[in-house]
Every structure is written in C-alpha cells, then in structure tokens.
C-alpha cells in the first residue's frame, strides 16, 4: 500500500489494526470527492482517509492521531461553502459517512437520536415517518450530514419558524482531540447545570471535537403546506409583506425567500423556463405557509395576497396548488445549487439588520459596477433571518490571470462596506478557510481571544482542523 513519506512510522498500520482495513484508505485509493469540498478550492490529497463505523472507532482514531501528532480534518457531506472540510496533505481526513444510523425516533419525547453521518434528508424522512418534522431544511439536504449541519450551525429555509441548527439540538456526543468521548446525550429541554458544553461544538467547524451522535428536537408535522411566488415593486414592500404574512399566519410562515431580479432572470435562463408571471419584476418572494387544512390555508393566502395587491404592495402572485407546482417554484430559488456549474462563484453569506439589507445590496452592486463594469452578481436572501446571499462570477471580473487578485479585492470591498454597517461576514456558512482573513471585521479582539482560549483548552496541540476559522 503506497504511503506518503510524511506519515509517521507505524501510524497507518496502527490505524488499520484499530479500525480494520476497510476503514483506512491511502494514496490512489482515496476517492477524488474526499479531496475537496463544494467551496471549489483546488483538490488536496490527505495523508489518509479514515471511515470509522462508530464512536469507538472515532475515539481510537483520535487517540492514535494524538499520540503521533497527526492533524485531523473532519468531513461530513462536503457541501460546505467555506472550505472547512478541505483536506490537508499533512493531515488525515476523517469521514463520518459510515456513521449514518438513524437510531431512534421517540414520539413521546418528540426527539430523533442519530449518528452524525446521517444525511439531513434521511433525518427528515425519519422525522416524517414518526409524524414529525425537523426544523432545518436546505438545498444540500441529500448530501449534507447532521454532523456537518451541527458543526456549521446551518440555517436554510426553516429558520424563520424553528431557528438554526443550534436550536434543534438537545443532546450531543463528541470525541475530543485526545480521544475522550464527551457524552452529552441528554434529551432534556431544561438543564441548567453549569456551562452548556454542547453549544461550544455547534458552529465550531470541526476545530474543537468530532460530533458523533446527536439527539434532535422534532416539531409537530403540519398536514398542509402552500407555496406562493409573489412579485414586488421594491425592497420596502418585501419587509411589509413579511410582517403581513407573519401576523396573518402566526408561527406558520415557514419560508420567506427574497429573490432579486438578477437572480430570478438568471435562474430562468439556466433552466430555460418562462417566468411564472410572464415577465420579471424588481423583486420576487417565495413564501411557504403551513397549517392543517389545505383549503383553509389556500383561502387565507388568496385573501391576504388580494389585500396586498389592492394596497400596491404585491404586483402579481402565483399560488402552487400541487406538490409539483410548488417544486417548480422552489426550483427557481434553488438555482443557487447551479452556481459552481454555471459560474466561478465568489459567495457572500452576509447578515445585517433586516431594514438595512435592501440599501446595502444596492450599495454593493453600485460599488462593484464602478470597479468592474459588466460584473455578474446575483442576489437572494432568507429575508426573515436578515440573511443576504450575494454571488459574483469571478469570470466577469476580468481575465483569468487576474482572477485571484480581483477576488481578494472584491471581498475586501464588500466586507469593508459590511463592517461599516456592523454586519456579519457569515450568517450561516461559517468561516472555514475562505473567510478567515476577514473574521476580525465581525468579531472583536476580546471575542477572538476567548475563542483562542477555548481552542487551546480543548485541543492544546492544535490537531483538530488546524488553520480553519482562525490561526492560533
């Protein structure tokens, strides 16, 4: 079996002895998909790819890595957009993909217990089979894993109703850098017994521990869900419509996705479909409301949209009456999955107070147009969460030789504008590798010092995902 010269003596054999040969890959046996993630960074082959089958396998792996001083890069479904799961040549990649057991859904407690390598979609299906729903949903659901969702504190489409991934977790099992298994698998909602340690690991992007199992909260499933696509004249109308729908459907507005005209037109071009409105408008909102009776829901939605039209708030609206119509509307918004295929994307995942987003998005486009006339930038956002996604095609910034320089300049420009408004450089995707140079724009020196102290306490040898989020 070929091994890299950097591998410590006996290390690979010790891993094989501990995990079995099927769980240890080196050299050409490491599949290409484990050598990069969705963020588009150039591929790197790790020292070895490890695929343990259970918590004890993860603990044995970390004990060995600790003993041999070998860094570890945790990998979930590799759909992260910040480069957090990007392997390093001097580190092993630790994939959770074999740890995908959906252990138990407990209807009485309204919880789902599962291994961290289960995909979000599998967890959603298990929740549905038990008569419940999970609080988090996002476009990468078929590939991303619960462990990755927790490690990035993922958001997505359901945040408005149920909060981010942090709000879904009741219990967690984590393996620390030295192989210690930290069992926090307690299903209680109330538990004020000192520091709530599990929250240190949520959003830590694999730098503090490996998440191996979780107990997630389940929410009662609604029997009916209706999607509507609404055309709007301006940003102010979007905020007014959000508040109108929230007050009409208290606690039942499940999604409110704002789509700027640039994104809308491009999405239709890529899918070669016609606008459901027959034309385009400055803004469109894709909203989902939930309830228990489809007829009542449709009637209420039609009434409130008719009122909004009378007030000039809404210019046009399309209501999905079947699941396939709803999916067709959602396909417009989920064209973001095509970014890496259709563009060389530079992604911004920004959050700001909701009232500031419209003007900020315009200011950004004006500043970009001044510097790079003809740039291609697309905007959409989870508006209810104050989260704007702006994506620029690096190829529209000039010739390939200058692409990297232009990308840095673009990020500096956008993040400087954002810092002036006190916004966050990452609403939901995390910092990983790509946003590390800008973290100081969203976190104070005192906050960064506390983060480093926590990292130092849990991983003094800096073996877990080193170089991600911040440098020590």
Ligand X SMILES: Cc1cc2nc3c(=O)[nH]c(=O)nc-3n(C[C@H](O)[C@H](O)[C@H](O)COP(=O)(O)OP(=O)(O)OC[C@H]3O[C@@H](n4cnc5c(N)ncnc54)[C@H](O)[C@@H]3O)c2cc1C
Q: Name the site residues for ligand X (rule: CB under 6 A).
A: 37-38, 73-81, 84-85, 96, 116, 138-140, 144-145, 147-149, 151-152, 154-156, 205-206, 210-211, 336-337, 428-429, 432, 465, 468
Closest of 428, 415, 305 to residue 367, by C-alpha: 415
Taking the least distance from each CB to ligand X, the nearer of 266 and 305 is 266
Q: Minimum Å distance from CB 209 to ligand X?
A: 7
Q: Tokens 């489809």: give the residue.
A: 294
* Torsion region of 78: left, alpha or beta (phi above 0 gives left; psi -120 to 50 gives alpha): left
For residues 36 and 75, give the distance between their C-alpha atoms in angstroms, rounded to a whole number.
10
* Torsion region of 4: left, alpha or beta (phi above 0 gives left; psi -120 to 50 gives alpha): beta
3-state secondary structure of 47: coil
Q: Minimum Å distance from CB 127 to ligand X?
A: 17
Taking the least distance from each CB to ligand X, the nearer of 15 and 116 is 116
For residues 138 and 154, give the distance between their C-alpha atoms in angstroms, rounded to a whole number.
8
Q: Minimum Å distance from CB 247 to ligand X?
A: 25
Taking the least distance from each CB to ligand X, the nearer of 25 and 237 is 25
Taking the least distance from each CB to ligand X, the nearer of 270 and 277 is 270
Residue 43 · residue 35 · CB < 8 Å: yes
For residues 285 and 281, give the distance between their C-alpha atoms in angstroms, rounded to a whole number.
11
Taking the least distance from each CB to ligand X, the nearer of 237 and 425 is 425
For residues 150 and 169, give the distance between their C-alpha atoms in angstroms, rounded to a whole number.
8
Taking the least distance from each CB to ligand X, the nearer of 12 and 96 is 96
Taking the least distance from each CB to ligand X, the nearer of 344 and 409 is 344
Tokens encoding 243:
């508040």
Q: What does the DSSP 8-state code read for residue 257?
A: E
Q: Tokens 């993860």: give the residue.
A: 58
For residues 337 and 456, give the distance between their C-alpha atoms in angstroms, rounded to a whole number.
36
Q: Minimum Å distance from CB 255 to ligand X?
A: 11
Q: What does the DSSP 8-state code read for residue 73?
A: E
Which residue number is nearest to ligand X in terms of Cβ? Answer: 148
Terminal-to-terminal C-alpha distance of the chain? 35
Q: What does the DSSP 8-state code read for residue 321?
A: -
Q: Minimum Å distance from CB 93 to ligand X?
A: 9
Count Cβ atoms within 10 A of the Cβ of residue 80 and give its class: 0-12 exposed, 13-18 middle, 19 or more buried: buried
3-state secondary structure of 45: coil
Taking the least distance from each CB to ligand X, the nearer of 208 and 245 is 208
Q: Minimum Å distance from CB 107 to ligand X?
A: 26
Q: Minimum Å distance from CB 280 to ligand X?
A: 23
Q: Minimum Å distance from CB 44 to ligand X?
A: 14
Q: Minimum Å distance from CB 156 to ligand X?
A: 4
Q: Minimum Å distance from CB 366 to ligand X?
A: 27
3-state secondary structure of 169: strand
Identify each DSSP E strand in 60-109 by its residue range.
Answer: 72-75, 92-95, 104-106
| Residue 367: CB atoms within 10 Å | 15
Taking the least distance from each CB to ligand X, the nearer of 38 and 264 is 38
Taking the least distance from each CB to ligand X, the nearer of 85 and 301 is 85
């Amino acid at each position: 079996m070929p091994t890299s010269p950097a591998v410590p003596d006996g290390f690979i054999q010790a891993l094989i002895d501990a995990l079995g040969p099927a769980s240890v890959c080196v050299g050409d046996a490491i599949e290409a998909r484990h050598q990069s993630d969705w963020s588009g960074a150039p591929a790197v082959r790790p020292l070895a790819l490890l695929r343990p089958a259970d918590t004890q396998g993860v603990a044995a792996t970390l004990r060995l890595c600790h003993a041999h001083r070998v860094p570890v890069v945790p990998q979930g479904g590799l759909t992260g957009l910040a480069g957090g799961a990007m392997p390093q040549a001097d580190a092993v990649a630790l994939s959770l993909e074999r740890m995908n057991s959906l252990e138990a859904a407990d209807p009485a407690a309204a919880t789902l217990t599962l291994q961290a390598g289960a995909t979000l979609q599998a967890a959603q299906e298990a929740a549905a089979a038990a008569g419940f729903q999970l609080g988090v949903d996002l476009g990468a659901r078929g590939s991303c894993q619960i462990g990755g969702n927790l490690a990035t504190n993922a958001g997505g489409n359901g945040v408005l109703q149920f909060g981010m991934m942090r709000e879904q977790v009741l219990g967690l099992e984590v393996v620390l850098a030295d192989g210690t298994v930290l069992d926090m698998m307690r299903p209680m909602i109330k538990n004020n017994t000192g520091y709530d340690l599990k929250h240190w690991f949520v959003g830590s992007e694999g730098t503090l521990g490996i998440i191996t199992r979780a107990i997630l909260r389940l929410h009662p499933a609604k029997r009916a869900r209706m999607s509507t696509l609404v055309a709007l004249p301006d940003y102010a109308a979007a905020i007014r419509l959000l508040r109108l729908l929230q007050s009409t459907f208290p606690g039942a507005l499940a999604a409110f996705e704002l789509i700027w005209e640039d994104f809308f037109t491009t999405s239709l071009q890529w899918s070669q479909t016609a606008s459901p409105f027959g034309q385009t408008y400055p803004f469109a909102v894709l909203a989902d409301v939930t309830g228990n009776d489809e007829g009542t829901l449709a009637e209420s939605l039609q009434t409130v949209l008719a009122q909004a039209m009378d007030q000039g708030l809404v210019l046009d609206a399309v209501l999905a009456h079947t699941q396939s119509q709803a999916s067709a509307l959602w396909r417009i918004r989920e064209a973001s999955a095509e970014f890496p295929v259709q563009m060389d994307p530079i992604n911004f995942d920004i959050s700001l107070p909701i009232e500031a987003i419209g003007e900020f998005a315009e200011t950004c486009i004006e500043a970009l147009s001044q510097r790079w006339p003809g740039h291609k930038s697309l905007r959409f956002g989870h508006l209810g969460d104050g989260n704007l996604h702006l994506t620029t095609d690096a190829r529209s910034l000039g010739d390939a030789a200058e692409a990297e320089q232009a990308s840095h300049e673009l990020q500096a420009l956008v993040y400087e504008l954002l810092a002036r408004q006190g916004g966050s450089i990452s609403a939901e995707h995390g910092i990983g590798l790509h946003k590390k140079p800008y973290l100081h724009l969203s976190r104070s020196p005192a906050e960064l010092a506390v983060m480093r102290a926590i990292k130092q306490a849990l991983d003094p040898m800096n073996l877990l995902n080193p170089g991600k989020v911040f440098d020590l």
